[in-house]
Structure 1
Amino acid sequence: MNILFIGLGNMGAPMAAHLASAGHSLTVANRSPAKAAQWLASNQGQALATPSTLPVQTEAVILCVSRDEDVEEWLIDNGIINQLKPGALIVDHSTTSAGLAERMAAKASENGVYFCDVPVSGGQQGAQNGQLSLMAGCDSNAYERLVDLTAPYTKAIAHMGDPGCGQKTKMVNQICVAGLIQSLAEGIHFAQESGLDPKKVMELVGQGAASSWQLINRHQTMIDGDYDHGFAVSLMHKDLQICLHEAKAEGVSLPITEIVDSYYQQLESGGNGNKDTSSLLLRLQQRE
């Protein structure tokens, strides 16, 4: 397919590379042109000359950006959504509000275009290895094409419902992850303060009921105090705010999520917004 891929950050760059390796024809774009140039130095494709003019044969637009405003800027302000031909796909891998996905889907449908909100889970490592889990909210008529298109970087995908349902599923993911990371941070901190070997403890409990992806993949970097990698605190705070806003609208109580989000706000206020989400342990250590 002829694809426009927007957003070449830690997640988007390897995802776009998987598509190029699979034989798709890619045009790439990024808020910072330097990232597009860097990607093109090692991958086949071309840079988007101007958002106001798409390549004529564009069949799909894939976004992997940060916020609702970014999606609206590319699709609405730059006019991309109105340049696509009927039947084209817009695949948004960003984590945004469900309301945005619903609005974009309604706008796209005016031109016979399918908007699919398809947030991902698996982190930078999953993107690099082509092992992401995808949560799809889209018209059922677009789902099979979506599966084929995203196959180069997908481990698992499921159709969760109409547009907006993918984002709501990602909210469940972030709610669960936030609680897991805080519990892991407290467990490691307790082990350290109790005179135990935290590495030995984590390796053992990681083979039992306490195991999780976070424990397996993050306990050693947390013990080492290495937080210059992975999903940033500022982005997690943004995601949890989306969760809490949606929960309030639905009349749902998320007490643990509120607490953990306040901890991420503390980290961000302390200049740690770019550190990995596992830096919740750093907050506990700093409070001693």
Structure 2
Amino acid sequence: MSSINAKTYESISPVSVAFLGLGVMGYPMAGHLAQAGHRVTVYNRTAAKSEAWLAEFNASGAKHTHALTPRAAAAQADVVFCCVGNDDDLRSVTLGADGAFAGMQPGAVFVDHTTASASIARELAAAAKLAGIEFVDAPVSGGQAGAQNGMLTVMCGGDAAAFAKAQPVGMAFSRAFTLLGESGAGQLAKMVNQICIAGLVQGLSEAIAFGQNAGLDMNQVLDVIGKGAAQSWQLDNRGKTMVADKFDFGFAVDWMRKDLGLVLDEAKRNGARLPVTALVDQFYADVQHMGGRRWDTSSLIKRLK
């Protein structure tokens, strides 16, 4: 069974691309690029994951390849996509003798989908410019399901010309791929996204716990309030699994704490006051201490039971 779900792809001329990082997001994202007709070279720190990807996406006779270093993967690519874990991981695949920047052709574009700091985006944009290549920071929202369905929302920062090269290719796994400003703007927009989610999930957790204590049929209540002003993606997609006490899927608490750490660090720099976000970050620390490091972020409700 394919790791990606069917999508209608916009017809554009195939290009050579690389994808660095075949985790739960990168694996299906790279798959959509292959299914859209692009020539894909993949790189993953654990080569077995690259080999599994090739076995799946070359099954129909395609000739996608894998490389043993980021530099080798990027050598022939017009666009290099990347989705790794954090700032340090990002430096490891971009910089140095084996990094992608050392192998990229002049004018090629590096598109980073890692949720990382705005400062690393600006650092790598400057390094790319010195190397004669282009860089777009482009974190995503939509989770694993969005990656599998090719329906991610991509928030971009960088030069307009670089964005224009990357956007039609990146639409293979996206429903929206939008330039929001100069380098770092994509990462800052992703921080805004995570601030919103943190507050929404805590509010939903308190609402469901309150309703359960009050003896209400919360599945029925969610159906009703989901048709009114309380409606949200979190309510629609996580409300009933929260009622059912199911959290073994989705965006992990560990990842959310990483993201909220980036948010709170940035807030110290720009002077934003985030009392609710800081509190919810500590609530997620409580969930980690309960053994929920890999639970879905909706597991905030576990603290209330």
TM-score of the pair, normalised by structure 2: 0.90
Q: In structure 1, what is the Cα distance between the partners aligned to 2:167 and 2:46?
A: 29
State the shift of 1:125 in Å.
1.3
Instruction: Spell out, residue by residue over 1:4-28, the C-alpha distance to the aligned partner (whole angstroms, 9 max, x if none).
Output: 1011122111111110001111111
Q: Is 1:224 equivalent to 2:244 in the alignment?
A: yes
Residue aligning to 2:4: none
Unmatched tracts of structure 1, length 5 or more: none
For 2:68, the equivalent position in structure 1 comes to: 49
Shift of residue 64, structure 1, vs aligned partner: 0.9
Contact 1:85 1:111 in 2 (8 A): no
Match of 1:74 among 74, 93, 112: 93
Mean Cα deviation higher: 158-167 or 35-44: 35-44
Matched, 1:191 2:211: yes
- Residue deviations 1:174-205 (CA, integer Å, cap 9, x gap): 00001001111111111111100111111111
Report the equivalent of 1:262: 282
CA 1:181–1:55 in 2, change beyond 3 Å: closer, same or farther? closer
**Contact 2:170-2:177 at 8 Å conserved across structures:** no
| Matching of residues 210-249 of structure 1 within 5 Å | 210-249=230-269
CA deviations over 1:152-183 (Å, ceiling 9, x no partner): 11111221111100000000000000100111
- 1:62-101 matched pairs, under 5 angstroms: 62-77=81-96, 78-101=98-121
Taking a change above 3 Å as real, the CA distance of residues 111 and 55 of structure 1, as seen in their structure-2 partners, is closer
User: Which runs of no fewer than 5 residues in structure 2 stay unpaired?
Assistant: 1-14, 59-63
SS of the equivalent of 2:273 reads: coil
Question: How far apart are the structure 2 equivalents of 1:59 and 1:269?
Answer: 45
Amino acid of the residue matched to residue 106 of structure 2? P
Residue aligning to 1:132: 152
Q: Shift in Å at residue 220 of structure 1?
A: 1.5
Identity of aligned residues (%): 46
**Is the deviation greater in 72-81 or in 180-189?**
72-81
Matched, 1:61 2:75: no
Would the aligned equivalents of 2:151 and 2:174 in 1 still touch at CA under 8 Å? yes
Match of 1:23 in 2: 37
Is the alpha carbon distance of 1:12 and 1:51 closer, same or farther for their aligned partners in structure 2, counting shifts above 3 Å? closer
Alignment-mate amino acid for residue 101 of structure 2? I
SS of 1:136's partner is strand
CA deviation string 1:118-177 (max 9, x = no partner):
011111111111111111101011121121110111111221111100000000000000
Q: Which residue of 2 aligns with 1:114?
A: 134
Runs of 4+ aligned residues of structure 1 deviating over 6 Å after TM superposition are: none
| Structure 1 residue 271: Cα displacement | 2.0
Give 3-state SS (helix, strand or coil) of 1:150's partner. Answer: helix
CA distance in structure 2 between the aligned counterparts of 1:113 and 1:258, rounded to whole angstroms: 38
RMSD value over aligned CA atoms? 1.2
Alpha-carbon distance in 1 for matches of 2:258, 2:73: 30
1:281, distance to aligned residue in structure 2 (A): 0.9
The worse-fitting range, judged by mean Cα deviation, of 223-232 and 32-41 is 32-41
Q: Distance in 2 between matches of 1:15 and 1:278?
A: 24
Query: Distance in 2 between the 1:99 and 1:181 partners?
Result: 28
TM-score, normalised via structure 1 length: 0.96
Deviation at 1:37, TM superposition (A): 2.1
Deviations 1:215-249 (A, max 9, x none): 00111211111111111100000000100100110
Per the alignment, residue 6 of structure 1 pairs with 20
Q: Distance in 1 between matches of 2:75 and 2:43?
A: 16
Q: Deviations over 1:38-74 (max 9, x none)?
A: 2222113222133353464222211111111110011
Question: How many positions carry a matched residue from both structures?
Answer: 285
CA contact (8 A) 2:79 2:166 kept: no
CA contact (8 A) 2:106 2:132 kept: yes
Q: Residues of 2 paired with 1:52 and 1:156: CA distance?
A: 29
